[in-house]
């Protein structure tokens, strides 16, 4: 019970992250007849656009949704005084996992070299690369080891979400809602506005 009470937020994040993966399993074929063989189902391997679009949509949407959610943690704390650093770290890891899934699916279906054929793909690839140090340092040991530098590394998240939004904009997908949420979050972070909100909240 003590473990659940201490880690319930982290567990909720994990459950919410895993549930959307279930639809993706419909596109994966696992064969045990000749050892373990994992592959995409035939219609995806043959570049069926409806299937590939579904894979891209699910993985990409949840990657940017979690990314946006992570950046709303600080504004949420400012507004309501509720904060859990390690839940935010879990959300960051989930963001990276969905982003990696999105990129891996792209490479499997389109090929790695396709990454460099369009500006939006290149921006997405840069965002993926920048996520790697964030994931590797998203733990308590790294926090103690890096100290002040830890926050500097984690601040890459702002540039990553900026690149991701441009990536989505260039793909002409739904992006406005994410830009609005992130934009409002940055406004709330402005020192004058932040202190005013905290003063109002404490009254």
The per-residue pLDDT for range 87-135, each reduced to its tens digit, is 777 888 888 888 998 898 888 778 889 999 999 899 999 999 999 988 8
Enclosing domain of residue 194: 2-202
Q: Which residues have CB under 8 Å from 147's CB, separation 6+?
A: none
- Secondary structure (DSSP) of 54-113: HHHHHHHHHHHHHHHHHHTHHHHHHHH----HHHHHHHHHHHHHHHHHHHHHHHHHH-GG
Other beta carbons less than 10 A from residue 61's beta carbon = 17
The H or E element spanning position 34 is: none
Residue ranges of the chain with per-residue pLDDT less than 50:
36-38, 42-43, 45
Domain count, the chain: 1
The whole model's pTM is what? 0.77
């Amino acid at each position: 019970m003590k473990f659940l009470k201490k880690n319930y937020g982290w567990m909720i994040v994990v459950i919410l992250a895993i549930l959307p993966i279930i639809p993706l399993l419909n596109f994966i074929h696992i064969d045990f007849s000749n050892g373990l063989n994992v592959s995409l189902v035939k219609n995806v391997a043959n570049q069926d656009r409806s299937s590939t679009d579904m894979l891209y949509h699910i993985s990409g949407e949840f990657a940017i949704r979690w990314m946006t959610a992570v950046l709303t943690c600080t504004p949420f704390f400012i507004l309501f005084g509720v904060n859990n650093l390690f839940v935010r770290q879990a959300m960051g890891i989930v963001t990276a996992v969905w982003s990696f899934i999105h990129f891996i699916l792209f490479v499997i279906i389109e090929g790695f070299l396709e990454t460099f054929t369009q500006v939006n793909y290149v921006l997405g690839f840069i965002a993926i690369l920048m996520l790697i140090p964030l994931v590797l340092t998203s733990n308590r040991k790294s926090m103690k080891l890096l100290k002040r530098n830890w926050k500097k590394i984690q601040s890459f998240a702002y540039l990553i979400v900026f690149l991701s939004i441009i990536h989505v904009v260039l793909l002409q997908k739904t992006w406005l809602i994410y830009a609005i949420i992130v934009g409002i979050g940055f406004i709330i972070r402005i020192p004058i506005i932040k202190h005013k909100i905290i003063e109002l909240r404490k009254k």
